Amino acid sequence: MTVWVLDRVTKNWALGTLTPGIREPLLGEVLQLNLLFNPGAAFSLGTGITPVFAFVQFAVSLLVVLAAFRVGSTAWAVALGLVLGGASGNLFDRLTRPPGFARGHVVDFLELPNWPVFNVADSAICCAAVLVAITAFAGIGFDGTREGGDERSATDPAPRPDSGSSS
């Protein structure tokens, strides 16, 4: 929910403050503000199939919600939250922005050198991808178990001595 709200607030700010296509420095040349409306996916790919992206973002959001009931790792839960916030943030644009339902253009406004213009939702999805890669590389399973025989959850504290048994 935090990512979705932050995405909505920043997009509304950009819409009310920035002029489309005019760059304004935020951190000099490193990060600039540049309001654009993207009908496609990352790098403006697939600009003619916007409804497909709306469907995919809906499906991803639904799958993440369903998967959340099975997650046993804090890192995986954070990654799922980032994906859900990012996918639903851009889906909201596709459903509510011109030119119409499921064809709306996503509001993008952050620009790095030699990189496409993006938004908070896009950033969250990229951060989730990095977190998933790190978590998987660390051997932490979706259910919280670690590779190599340690069946304890990666987020559980060390096992406590059994106080109720007698030998």
Name the residues annotated as catalytic.
108, 122
Sign of CA dihedral 104, 54, 88, 108: negative
Nearest residue to 119 (alpha-carbon basis) of 136, 100, 97, 101: 97
Dihedral angle at the C-alpha atoms of 19, 56, 95, 36, nearest 10 degrees? 10
